[in-house]
Structure 1
């Protein structure tokens, strides 16, 4: 669905539509005199200019996006009743926003940082948002630690810079981060472009079918352009020469008609498997090994249309993992549970309570029918309809069919750690990842980590960080310790 083109022909006007006689000179009290308050064009332009920006995202501020299509390539109706997945060949319009995590709106693209991979499906049953990254795991497993983690990645409140002490102090004291940090400082830590990286839903989600059967799923988006990455030296040069490198690459590829595509896969776990699985299937710091649950191809994602205005369609786009459709729902993943609130709340603050009314955010294949009214920038779309339910005037009413199946819970309320599964610890998967790497890949990983750890000011912070990698793999820790000692003298 494209937006109606704004009128560009005819005379320049004010915001109220009055023709502008002179857009070059302010109105003054005589030649060379002071400017008059009655020059409403001047005041209108300056006031609008002062308000052109909205608060940037606290994380994922730096991003780019494009529209596209998702096409179903396999029958998944045994697992989900989601209408947009109901038949092979069915297409759904999408909008995908890529981003870095830690940098602000003006930061460079070519940096060592996870990439956001936020995908909106404009389905006939409402918008479905899949909010993920280019990594299958994350640094922490409970949303209560997310503000602490992000504070270590952003600018220190005293120095105004990102501080190695803060980063490694938190990671060293949070052993669960070892897997993601090993991933981030490996060869895939700096993608060459948004087109040349994979995307992942990362979290575990619920699928449920027409019979009410429940399955746990993980999403994978495998780039058809091939994986391409930058070395630290290449990224440093590119970030200085072209800070907009990733955004420019995506836009220009689509302009050339080289539409990037991803093969979409899912891992599917019957709900009954979860309790006895060797890893906690709802732990965001863990993957499901493919040997246990092989990825199954279900579709193809293509990006084929650039936004016409970056602010309106990329900066004001909103995504929330709470935007589900029938047949898809949440899991007990504690990071996901926190994000179900935090994402929507961030957008209500940043864009406004009616952000869902904006063209990029509103449903394209159906109509939102709610009883919410008023608020900042409300457009009056409901006209004279009643704003309560139930009512006797033909207003929208509940369906009595939940989007997802209920999950059984037991026990006392409290601040509980997750139940440990047979092979749960903070290091086993990081060690497995290290041992999967070639000798050259391991050498680059150690070099990348050592260069950053060596910047910390206190020996105990460096030693604690190294100890986590030693727990993952003895050789990994030994090589890293030697490399850090060499750099620190």
Structure 2
């Protein structure tokens, strides 16, 4: 100790051990600076920042080390694997993963269900993964759906990406297919993930807005990162506001590998397609639903399963070789790109059915831990630099959020396959391990557990060669081609919704330069789109933002119909659709009962709504019972509307302001409306006819004045199965 003291200080034996930091002398008699001295030093510091802005604000690690490149992870070659020695990436991701306790940093608001996956046929030619080994093979699953940006108490119907994560409890351990309802992502390197989430989350100075990207920091980031262009097309489209969790697609986002028993590898993209079709809300509808029922999506999923209307998705695979991938005009390791189905068709391989709600929300939905690193033999990774960060990030997050390294022992996370390893102790340990051996190799335990050798998980032996670099492959620099592909693949109504989404979001931005910069980026996607957005913002169309890659490769596909929601109608059924029938004393009960019975037989949920709960007097037919009121429900919660016959009842309904609200909202949102007999007058009062402004019939407005109730009800069921009638909106726009 004496030696340490003598060797320290100012370098002189017996020195005064002073330390000088930022001009302040510290030592045994260091004095606290006076207020005047502190103010002088602060002023000097501000002057230094002004004179040397770049040096004073250089980005550093937590240890103060200057960061030379904050855009790219360290990789072995431009398309090689991300290296574990990248301490800058690891520090950034690790700090990010621990920023919230105990709520998830992203995907905090979610709902989930138990179910099963059933394989259609063996896929042994491509993979040895357990779920795909035989036709009819059943694998238990637990699926969780979530919004990304909002906190646990936020709303379901915000415009956002939705998480779509499925845990397969396979014979050889748990496989987590962790994806989204959109096949591409905002960024292509995990280095940028903390920046993205920091930008989209509520702004730190005031904590607003919640569960929304319509604010300055997000669009500042997006306008400076043109690689976000493709996913922004999807999020600003109707995909960003799904009608139901049961009616949205799911995607694995990344390129993965399939490896068969012979060690042969193929690349793969995972697709979930809902049996009910892929349907959306319109923005006005989503906003109103948010105010009426912030749990709209969660309640919809729960109620459907409780009613026995089990949601179902078909799993499809895009399987392709590395040689094929090398020939594409885009890079399959780029998470901002998709593979058009015209290049690689989607092969259906099985179905997922969710048939049981969780027994306890916290124990299961909240504590379930998904991880992109959880794969089983037959599933392996590609060199996608975003996937590399997710492999690290998920486990690190679970350790923080669930209290330690034993989160895998929570029942919802525990595999059905036996667990035998030498892990021990730690917080929240559930397993009581017996015996004296917790190491390998050993002789005291008979050498158990043994390594599985080639029967276990073996990473695909991909050759790796390249210099340690921070950068990206050349094809990664094309930010706009696939954004244009998505936009040009939409119908006119869908294009109008995309433009409206951008206008709304950017109109909330308070810094004009950010708005203009974002529109200049959109010019590279579509001048038509950029012009529509600029006009709505009251600005002149700016020049196109300079491209990183002035001459991108010619795309193989310039229009892909599969990217439009119109190509994903589902089976045309109306099972679990919600229909409102309005009533008042004096309605014709016979026709109401007939329509109600027909709708229920087709699987719809029917709610009888009146000014008060309880019995409603009818002029014919059986007694009617109102199960909801105009006061406690809303038109935006229903997929279709039926107006009753009976002049006395229709007269009373016409005196209710809420009835006109029901009719106008259902019509405005493209829903199907059936007016029985005398209620045609209610449509006339609302200014609604059975034909569109240019004279074509409105397929979503039906009346029974000259046809039988049974016939018009059948037509109503058919129209309701289309979900929405975009012809009405297109006609209104043209008119």
TM-score range, shorter chain: 0.7 to 0.9
CA deviation vs aligned residue, 1:404-434 (integer Å, no higher than 9, x gap): 312222111121213427xx61001111111
Do structure 1's residue 406 and structure 2's residue 461 form an aligned pair? yes
2:155–2:294 CA contact under 8 A, matched in 1: yes
Which residue matches 1:461?
514
Q: Within 2, Cα distance between the matches of 1:405 and 1:445?
A: 41
What is the aligned partner in structure 1 of residue 271 from structure 2?
A: 220
Give the secondary structure class of the aligned counterpart of 1:345: helix
Name the CA distance, whole Å, in 2 between partners of 1:385 and 1:73. 46
Tell me the equivalent position of 1:128: 175
Residues 409 and 431 in structure 2, CA contact (< 8 A), matched pair in contact too: no
Conservation of the 8 A alpha-carbon contact between 1:207 and 1:404:
no
Change (3 A) 1:67 1:403: farther
Alignment partners' CA distance in 2, 1:178 and 1:196? 25
Q: Kindly indicate whether the alpha-carbon contact (under 8 Å) linking 1:325 and 1:403 is maintained by their aligned counterparts in 2.
A: no
Paired position in structure 1 for 2:161? 114
Q: Give distance in 2, aligned partners of 1:216 and 1:302.
A: 26
**Residue 390 (structure 1) shift:** 1.1
User: Distance in 2 between the 1:272 and 1:383 partners?
Assistant: 50
User: What is residue 418 of structure 1 aligned with on the other side?
Assistant: 473
The root-mean-square deviation of aligned C-alpha atoms, in Å, is: 1.7
Partner of 1:450: helix, strand, or coil?
Answer: helix
Question: What's the counterpart of residue 210 of structure 1?
Answer: 261
User: Within the alignment, does 1:303 sit opposite 2:359 as a pair?
Assistant: no
Paired residues of 1:466 and 1:481 also in contact (CA < 8 A) = yes
C-alpha displacement at 1:460, in angstroms?
Answer: 1.7
Alpha-carbon distance, 1:324 to partner = 0.8
State the distance in 1 between where 2:141 and 2:442 align: 34
Q: In 1, are the aligned partners of 2:139 and 2:170 still within 8 Å (CA)?
A: yes
Which shifted more, 90-99 or 183-192? 183-192
Deviation, 1:54, is: 6.2
Q: Does 1:69 align with 2:116?
A: yes
Partner of 2:610 in structure 1? none
Q: What is the aligned counterpart of 1:325 among 376, 394, 406?
A: 376
Q: Deviations over 1:32-70 (max 9, x none)?
A: xxxxxxxxxxxxxxxxxxxxx961000000000001000
Q: 1:478 — aligned with what?
A: 531
1:447 maps onto 2:512 in alignment: no
Superposition deviation, residue 75 in structure 1: 2.7
Q: Give, in whole Å, the separation in 2 of the partners of 1:95 and 1:270.
A: 30
Q: 1:88, 1:324 → 2: CA distance?
A: 21
- Once the two structures are TM-superposed, the CA of residue 174 in structure 1 deviates from its matched residue by 0.6
TM-score, scaled to structure 1? 0.86
Contact kept, 8 Å, 2:129 with 2:377, in 1: the verdict is yes
TM-score by length of 2: 0.58
Contact 1:72–1:88 (8 Å) recurs in 2: yes
Report if aligned partners of 1:206, 1:404 keep a CA contact under 8 Å in 2.
no
1:486 Cα deviation after fit: 6.9
Cα deviation, 1:448-479, whole Å, max 9, x if unaligned, reads 11111122222221111111211011212122
Deviation at 1:203, TM superposition (A): 0.8
- The whole-number CA distance in structure 2 between the counterparts of 1:415 and 1:242 is 47
Matched, 1:91 2:142: no
State whether residues 317 and 348 of structure 2, in contact with CA within 8 Å, keep that contact through their aligned partners in structure 1. Answer: yes
Secondary structure at the residue paired with 1:472? coil
The aligned counterpart of 2:701 is none
| Residue matched to 1:34 | none
Alpha-carbon contact 1:176-1:285 (below 8 Å) kept: yes
Report SS of the residue matched to 1:147: helix
Matched, 1:356 2:441: no
- Give the Cα–Cα distance (whole angstroms) in 2 for the partners of residues 264 and 440 of structure 1: 29
Aligned to 2:152: 105
Q: After alignment, is 434-443 or 216-225 more displaced?
A: 434-443
Which of 485, 494, 506 lines up with 1:432 in the alignment? 485
Q: Once the 2 structures are TM-superposed, how far is the Cα of residue 439 of structure 1 from its aligned partner? A: 1.4
Aligned pairs, how many? 433
Q: Counterpart in 2 of 1:196?
A: 247
**Offset at 1:385?**
4.8
How does 1:12-411 map onto structure 2 within 5 Å?
55-162=102-209, 164-351=215-402, 352-364=404-416, 366-392=417-443, 393-394=445-446, 395-401=448-454, 402-411=457-466
| CA deviation after TM superposition for structure 1 residue 199, in Å | 0.7
Q: Deviations over 1:228-257 (max 9, x none)?
A: 211111111111111111111111111111
The alignment partner of 1:263 has SS state of strand
Contact 1:206 1:215 in 2 (8 A): yes
Q: Distance in 1 between matches of 2:279 and 2:344?
A: 26
Q: Give the 4+ runs in structure 1 shifted more than 3 A.
A: none
d(CA) in 1 for partners of 2:195, 2:336 = 17
Assess if the C-alpha contact under 8 Å between 1:324 and 1:403 holds in 2: no
Provide the rounded CA distance (Å) in 2 between the counterparts of 1:472 and 1:398: 53
Mean Cα displacement is larger for which, 101-110 or 466-475? Answer: 466-475
Query: Distance in 1 between the 2:119 and 2:385 partners?
Result: 30
Instruction: Check the 8 A contact 2:329/2:475 in 1, yes or no.
Output: no
- Aligned-pair CA distance for 1:316: 0.4
How far 1:82 sits from its partner (Å)?
1.0
Preserved CA contact (<8 Å) 2:157 2:297 = yes
- Could you list the runs of 5+ residues in structure 2 that have no partner in the other structure? 1-99, 541-735
Give the whole-Å Cα distance in 1 for the aligned partners of 2:243 and 2:337.
Answer: 25
How far apart, CA to CA, are the structure 1 residues paired with 2:473 and 2:111?
36
Cα 1:322/1:458, change in 2 over 3 Å: same
Query: CA offsets per residue over residues 386-418 of structure 1, 9 Å max, x none?
Result: 111111213212222243312222111121213
CA distance in 1, matches of 2:159, 2:138: 34
Larger radius of gyration: 2
Contact in 1 for aligned 2:149/2:200 (Cα 8 Å): yes
**8 Å contact from structure 1 (residues 327, 404) kept in 2:** no
